[in-house]
Structure 1
Amino acid sequence: MPFVSAAGPAEELIDQGIRRGLEGNYQDAIDHFSRAIRLTPRNADAFYNRGLARVSIGDLTGAIADYSMSISLDPRSSGAYNNRGFALAALGRYAEALADMSRAIALRPDMAQLYNNRGTIRMSIKAYALAIADFTRAIALDPLLAGAYNNRGLARNLSGQLQGAVADYREAVRIDPRYKVAWYNLGNAHISLGDAKEAVEDYSKVLVLDPGMLVARNNRAFARLSLGDYKGALEDLNLVISKSPQDAAGWYNRGVVRKLAGDRQGAIEDLRRAAAFGDSLAVEALREITSRDSMPP
């Protein structure tokens, strides 16, 4: 939920705090909201907004206390219940988080985003059927809510409904063609279905939107590899390594591709680099390759 303004004697301080928060000056925002609270101790909006700012600096316990005060002063604040629910979930307090989300929904049963939010928390506890029901309700209320399609796709994917997941991801990117996470999830689902060609196209769309998303480039490399496109796979992994040279996984993955492409020496060099970074899989792969040198003809 966004920052909200408030009426009353502390209005100017709250408005200034909101501006500081929108600028990213969260501690300054907290100071303004705290001053407003000292002037008007029963100002629900001041506590609500301070809770938002505290979340932004990672003070979840302080945020929960502020949202609780806001709720005690304004028991019909669906936003405060929603936000407290997310903060509780971030601390692993899922039962309390779900109770808050359900209270928010009871106050605003027509608000699609609240069902979407409760669904994400249900996914955290692997209650996939209930999460799917929440995302489905969100979609019924707002058929253009791309995030709900993406989230339902994730829940369906995790519960083994791969075809349904693909349909949901496709709808998400139809609504929002720049939704890179949905494109990425679609690529992963196509990999799970054994459709590497479609996966390459999906990851390519991600990389047009975000060329620096290395996990998509890494996954495209292995999709290309499964299609026999060693050159394309190596191009992707070369870039992964250049952007993240301290990551053992990149060296290991390129070593595997080089081995399959017949570049034994290149594979050994890459696997040695990965092993030097502590990759146990690289150590095993190196042992397998180099043991052949000592085998009798």
Structure 2
Amino acid sequence: MSATPLSALLEQARAAVRSRDYAAAIAHYRQALTVDPESVDALEGLAMMLLATGSYAAAVEQFQRLVLLQPMEARHYINMGAAYNRLGQYQKAVDTLRKGIQRNRKCADAYYNLGIAQRKLNMPSLAISAYKEAIRLDPQLVEAYQNLGNLYTEMGNYQLALANYRKALELRPDFEKARLGLEKAEEAIQRSKASANPFGRLVNTSSVAPKSVPIVTRELSDADREFDRQRVRLLCEELQRLTADCLAQLKNKLEAGILDVQRSAAEGQFKNLGFVGAANEFQDAFRNWLELRQQLKRKALELRAHEELINTPQMPPSP
């Protein structure tokens, strides 16, 4: 009896996928690979089925075979990066996804998966930049808005969290995760308001002393002090995260990018893929570093403004 042709096995696998019989699809793809071990269609179909059914390590193995056969195909790196994310191997995910982005800089899914990995690596500022780029490339990518909302909630920036959760719900009204995130952010805002003086800091114009009267220290209520402590703590935590991200970007990305560009230039490889990839990687790293530096500057100014508000003296009441 003659062996089943490759094309027939591939069609059987695709039919099984359409009927959601993933076990059968995997079996057909594996059989196809016995006919042609280098069939890209069989390898990719098998890898995607393994990824969909939770066999992430096995999926990575197939994607690794694919990038050897098609080293310029971005989607293999991007899908492998997603598999690394599922395995919890986030640094490998970042490295692999950047290779995919080098080959296709217009893939929203690549930046979305990059944001997931960077968030898990405790690099929230870089994750925010990645999610924003994913949204720029695909404004309908509802999960990116939801993940941005989660990040902003973790950072205590509840207004931006609300905006992103609302956008996610605008695109998908039944998105339960976004609805729960929205409720959580709204509750956090209400708690912050409740911890402060509900009447704010009002000025009684009739009690303002003449300018010649000596200045005294501002008196704060317990609620005021607690609100100020929370605000300063959040600002300091954000500054600490941003500083760590800046240093990591300088050490791990910019320095490596400069060395790669210098090495390619020294070898006279200005037109080959290695030099182009090194140059693109350096540009990405430098752009991310500039964004981090700007965010760090804004937070430092915000902390300074808060300090000035707290330290602003008030006039004593008139006798």
Shared topology, TM-score over 0.5?
yes
Instruction: Write the distance in 1 (CA, Å) between the matches of 2:91 and 2:162.
Output: 30
Question: In structure 2, what is the equivalent of residue 224 of structure 1?
Answer: 186
Instruction: Write the distance in 2 (CA, Å) between the matches of 1:69 and 1:139.
Output: 32
Q: Which segment is superposed worse, 173-182 or 86-95?
A: 86-95
Deviation digits for residues 28-82 of structure 1, max 9, x if unmatched? xxxxxxxxxx9x8532122123212323434332212211122222333223212
**Alignment length, in residue pairs?**
192
**Following superposition of structure 1 onto structure 2, how do residues 232-251 of structure 1 map, counting pairs within 5 Å?**
none
Asked whether the 8 Å contact 1:76–1:107 carries over to 2, the reply is yes
User: For 2:103, which of 120, 126, 141 is the aligned residue?
Assistant: 141
Q: Which segment is superposed worse, 107-116 or 52-61?
A: 52-61
CA gap 1:172/1:93 in 2 versus in 1, 3 angstroms: closer
**Following superposition of structure 1 onto structure 2, how do residues 169-184 of structure 1 map, counting pairs within 5 Å?**
169-184=131-146
CA gap 1:200/1:125 in 2 versus in 1, 3 angstroms: same
Deviation digits for residues 189-247 of structure 1, max 9, x if unmatched? 111111111010001111111111122112111212222299xxxxxxxxxxxxxxxxx
Instruction: Write the distance in 2 (CA, Å) between the matches of 1:129 and 1:49.
Output: 37
Asked whether the 8 Å contact 2:57–2:83 carries over to 1, the reply is no
Asked whether the 8 Å contact 1:79–1:104 carries over to 2, the reply is no
Instruction: Write the distance in 2 (CA, Å) between the matches of 1:136 and 1:49.
Output: 33
TM-score of the superposed pair, with normalisation by structure 2: 0.56
Q: Structure 1 stretches of 5 or more lacking a match?
A: 1-37, 231-297
Instruction: Write the distance in 1 (CA, Å) between the matches of 2:191 and 2:106.
Output: 37
| Percent sequence identity over aligned pairs | 29
Q: 2:119 aligned with 1:161, yes or no?
A: no
Q: Structure 2 stretches of 5 or more lacking a match?
A: 193-319
TM-score of the superposed pair, with normalisation by structure 1: 0.60
Instruction: Write the distance in 1 (CA, Å) between the matches of 2:47 and 2:90.
Output: 18
CA gap 1:93/1:214 in 2 versus in 1, 3 angstroms: closer
Instruction: Write the distance in 2 (CA, Å) between the matches of 1:91 and 1:220.
Output: 31
Question: In structure 2, what is the equivalent of residue 54 of structure 1?
Answer: 16
Q: Secondary structure at the match of 1:228?
A: helix
Residue type at the aligned position of 1:49: E
**Following superposition of structure 1 onto structure 2, how do residues 108-119 of structure 1 map, counting pairs within 5 Å?**
108-119=70-81
Residue type at the aligned position of 1:69: Q
Structure of higher CA gyration radius:
2
Question: In structure 2, what is the equivalent of residue 132 of structure 1?
Answer: 94
Instruction: Write the distance in 2 (CA, Å) between the matches of 1:117 and 1:53.
Output: 22
User: For 2:35, which of 56, 63, 73 is the aligned residue?
Assistant: 73
CA gap 1:113/1:217 in 2 versus in 1, 3 angstroms: same
Considering only aligned residues, what root-mean-square deviation do their CA atoms show, in Å?
A: 2.2
User: For 1:150, which of 112, 121, 134 is the aligned residue?
Assistant: 112
Q: With CA pairs under 8 Å and 6+ residues apart, which has the higher RCO, 1 or 2?
A: 2
